[in-house]
Amino acid sequence: MQILYDNHIENATITPSTENPEYDFDTALNDTRLSRVGRTTSDTNQNIVFSFTGTVDVTYIALLTNNLTSGATVTIEANSSDSWGAPPVQETLTYYDGYWVTSFTQETYQYWRLTIDDSSNPDGYLELSYVFLGESLAMPPMLRNQKLPKTTTSTSQKSKRGQLYGNRELIVRTANINFAQAIADSYKTNIDTFFEAVETIKPFIMLVWENSLDVEPPMYCNLTKNLEWSRAKGEDVTWNLTIDVEECF
């Protein structure tokens, strides 16, 4: 399992090739709510340049809620300058149930460019809510039989005669991840750093099975409980942990 939480986009200067002024990317991509979106004014050969004050390390890029069609071509590029004739890094993102994700060997550059061509898009523009650019937190090994419940925020009421009435709301994915194996102290340190960054108030991306995103697509979620570490049996300093998350929108 991989967790994407330390997003370099929060410190980037964002420059789109085109932009609807009523849906600007700087506002949208610096907001954790997926309801805030940025829009281009065209759907063909569009790009967004992310520039930084220095180099940043990247192994993952992910696009969350968007209006891109599955036939879009989405690419991430990187360079040491804002020049894109022949960038040394060029990776194509893969489509997973509405999300776009790719991982690669760590690259370190100051300038990154997201390029999208979706000329068959019926909207005539491209819309993005959240872009992750950064490294991942590798979580400890886990068993395959994890619990991934789907819940609902809908409310219902049944009359005395058995008639059911309700208000349909959201279907929400959740997860209860049990790391059955003892967790090494080095993992605990990294997980504690993650918790201190997000607590229970900041969303992140969870890839339950990062190599099988067609089985379980990326989940944009938050921790619903504090971390409760317990010492595992044995003489080594190892730990047990369960984490609970709920999908965000």
Calpha distance 164→56 (Å, rounded): 55
- Contact between 234 and 182 (Cβ < 8 Å): yes
- The Cα-based distances of 15 to 25, 50, 51, 123, 133 in angstroms read 8, 7, 8, 22, 15
Closest CA to 9 of 45, 46, 63, 47: 63
Tokens of residue 228, six digits: 């409760």
Tokens of residue 3, six digits: 């967790």
**Least-confidence region, from 1-5, 84-88, 95-99, 179-183:** 179-183
Closest CA to 194 of 149, 241, 237, 139: 139
Largest CA distance in the chain: 71
Tokens of residue 1, six digits: 């399992």
pTM flag (> 0.75): yes
Grouping H, G, I as helix, E, B as strand and the rest as coil, residue 230 is strand
DSSP secondary structure code for residue 139 in this structure: P
What average pLDDT score do residues 87-102 get? 96
**Least-confidence region, from 25-39, 55-69, 72-86, 226-240:** 226-240
What average pLDDT score do residues 219-238 get? 91
Grouping H, G, I as helix, E, B as strand and the rest as coil, residue 238 is strand
Burial class (CB in 10 A: 0-12, 13-18, 19+), 162: exposed
Calpha distance 101→200 (Å, rounded): 24
What DSSP string describes 153-191? --EEEE-TTS-EEEE---EEEEEEEEEEEEEEHHHHHHH
Calpha distance 23→40 (Å, rounded): 8
Q: Above 80 in pLDDT, residue 47?
A: yes
pLDDT band at 143 (very low <50, low <70, confident <90, very high): confident
